Amino acid sequence: MERGVYTVILDHTVSRKYAKAYEFMNLSIQQAYLGSQVYPGFNVGSVLVLDDVVISTGYSNETGEHNHATQCVFEKLDNLTLARGASLYNTIEPCSYKLYDNDTSCTKRIIDAGISTVYIGVKEPETFSKCEGVNQLLDSGIDVYCLKMLEEACLEPNRHFLNRRYI
């Protein structure tokens, strides 16, 4: 299998594709704010898009305590086959190992669902664990784009603990 390509987008105004991505990532950021501002755990937003139409949304803990945003996106779909070939917009890199309950990682869910492209705002800060999400997606032939100009906006829903030191 051909490895996916990792692209950092620095200017979203250079193409319609990037402008659309910027728009959908902003929707994802809005989702992140719907999560509880409670430590521990990141407040992540996630939006699933097929043919420029949002087909599912999710935020941290939406469908149950400790459920990740990406997990919620898939759980809210009537039929998982709808996700095949879709693009996923995650404010933060999807997890490669689910720390809390050793449940299926979001990255594995993305790969299994047949998602074609993943957009992130920022790679996961190493607050809790070393995340291999982007690498695993690329290894599975999925292209990953990082919307660098939205990095701060994607981290902002987590300021309640990123600015502090927990030991």
For Zn ion, the binding residues (CB under 5 A) are 68, 95, 106
Q: How far apart are CA 44 and CA 35, in angstroms?
A: 8
Q: How far is the CB of 67 from Zn ion (least distance, A)?
A: 9
Q: How far is the CB of 60 from Zn ion (least distance, A)?
A: 9
Residue/partner pairs of 34-38 with CB below 8 Å, 24 or more apart: 34/59, 34/62, 35/59, 35/60, 35/61, 35/62, 35/69, 35/157, 36/60, 36/61, 37/157, 37/160
Nearer to Zn ion, 18 or 74 (CB): 74
Nearer to Zn ion, 44 or 86 (CB): 44
φ, ψ at 90 (rounded to 5°): -115, 130
Nearer to Zn ion, 6 or 97 (CB): 97
Q: How far is the CB of 32 from Zn ion (least distance, A)?
A: 13
Q: How far apart are CA 71 and CA 74, in angstroms?
A: 5
Q: How far is the CB of 69 from Zn ion (least distance, A)?
A: 7
User: Within 10 A of 138 (CB to CB), how many other CB atoms are there?
Assistant: 16
Q: How far is the CB of 77 from Zn ion (least distance, A)?
A: 16
Q: How far apart are CA 109 and CA 107, in angstroms?
A: 5
Nearer to Zn ion, 22 or 146 (CB): 146
Nearer to Zn ion, 22 or 89 (CB): 89
SS3 113: helix
Q: How far apart are CA 104 and CA 107, in angstroms?
A: 8
